[in-house]
């Protein structure tokens, strides 16, 4: 039970930050400044809202609840994507359990131990977060879990969503830069609301993939009953296999 409680505490840290739209100090105030405040939004290109391109890396994530297909973004998060591909190709994820589900908002997998407090990388070193103004925590996003350290590994989570209220939208529109001007473009805020998202996770974890098929599977997993004190699903849910392919239209 102690191991499960530790996992629950780690998971709770993810959403503890997601309700805050201040985008201040990131993982540790004053140490890792949230990049949301440093982005050049004039160059923003919301690639997750576009159709995939032929040849784009595609992760086929088979679970006991069904299959999720997600395109990957090596041009934006090369190290995170390569680690994910390496782990998938070596069969690391085969049989891994979904060890946490948070408030119907996301599910997590990929830990190497029962405590869920570590993962695997190719060289044994953690991977610095790779942020981009073009990638955001929309519904279906694959995100590297960093445990608030600023570094990732094989652990990742898949976002369902937390609906934005009118008050949330007002708060997002009220976030300002150092000059007092609105920080977030309306295009982004509208996408958070229309596509679904956990907007409060922006700038906290590396977004490295986007679901294109299997949103119903994400919803089913995130709706599964959990143990109240651990966030672990009551009945086991597993990743049976992850295969890396190439996307081709049609």
pLDDT digits (tens, 9 = 90+) for 97-156: 999 998 789 999 999 877 667 789 999 999 999 999 999 999 999 999 886 678 899 999
The listed range with the strongest mean pLDDT (8-12, 101-105, 197-201) is 197-201
Provide the CATH number for the domain around residue 38: 2.40.100.10
Q: How many domains does the chain have?
A: 1
The strand pair at 57-63 and 100-102 is best described as unpaired
Please tell me the least confidently modeled range out of 115-119, 174-178, 199-203.
115-119
Structural domain boundaries, residue 134: 2-246
Mean pLDDT of 175-197: 93
pLDDT of residue 50: 96
- Whether pLDDT at 8 is above 80: no
pLDDT of residue 52: 97
Please tell me the least confidently modeled range out of 38-42, 149-153, 226-230.
226-230
Cα–Cα distance measured from residue 220 to residue 232, given in angstroms and rounded to the nearest whole number: 15
Strand partners, 97: 238
Mean pLDDT of 220-237: 91
Q: Would you place residue 22 in the very low, low, confident or very high pLDDT band (cuts 50, 70, 90)?
A: low
Calculate the CA dihedral of residues 218, 91, 84, 26 and round it to 10 degrees: 70
**Single pTM value for the model:** 0.90
SS3 63: strand
- Whether pLDDT at 160 is above 70: yes
- Whether pLDDT at 220 is above 90: yes
| Angle formed by the axes of helices 166-173 and 186-195, nearest 10° | 160
Are the C-beta atoms of residues 172 and 199 closer than 8 Å to each other?
yes
Q: Quickly list DSSP for 128-189.
A: EP---TT---BTTEEEE--TTTTEE-S-EEEE---PPPHHHHHHHHT-B-TTSSB-S-HHHH
CB within 8 Å of 163: residues ≥ 6 apart: 196
């Amino acid at each position: 039970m102690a191991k499960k409680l530790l996992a629950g505490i780690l998971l709770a840290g993810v959403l503890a930050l997601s309700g805050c739209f201040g985008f201040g100090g990131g993982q540790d105030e004053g140490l890792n400044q949230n990049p949301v405040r440093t982005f050049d939004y004039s160059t923003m290109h919301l690639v997750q809202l576009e159709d995939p391109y032929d040849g784009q890396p595609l992760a086929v994530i088979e679970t006991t609840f069904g299959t999720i297909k997600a395109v990957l973004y090596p041009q934006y998060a090369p190290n995170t994507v390569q680690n994910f591909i390496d782990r998938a190709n070596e069969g690391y994820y085969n049989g891994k359990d979904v060890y946490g589900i948070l408030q119907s908002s996301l599910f997590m997998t990929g830990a190497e131990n029962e405590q869920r407090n570590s993962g695997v990388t190719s060289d044994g070193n953690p991977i610095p977060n790779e942020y981009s103004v073009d990638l955001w925590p929309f519904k279906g996003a694959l995100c590297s879990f960093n445990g608030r350290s600023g570094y990732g590994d094989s652990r990742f989570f898949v976002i369902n969503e937390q609906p934005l209220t009118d008050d949330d939208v007002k708060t997002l529109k009220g976030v300002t830069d150092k000059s007092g001007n609105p920080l977030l473009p309306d295009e982004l805020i509208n996408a958070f609301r229309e596509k679904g998202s956990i907007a409060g996770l922006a700038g906290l974890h590396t977004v490295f993939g986007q679901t294109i098929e299997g949103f119903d599977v994400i919803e089913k997993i995130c709706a599964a009953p959990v143990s109240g004190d651990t966030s672990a699903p009551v009945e086991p849910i597993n990743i049976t296999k992850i295969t890396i392919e190439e996307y081709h239209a049609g």
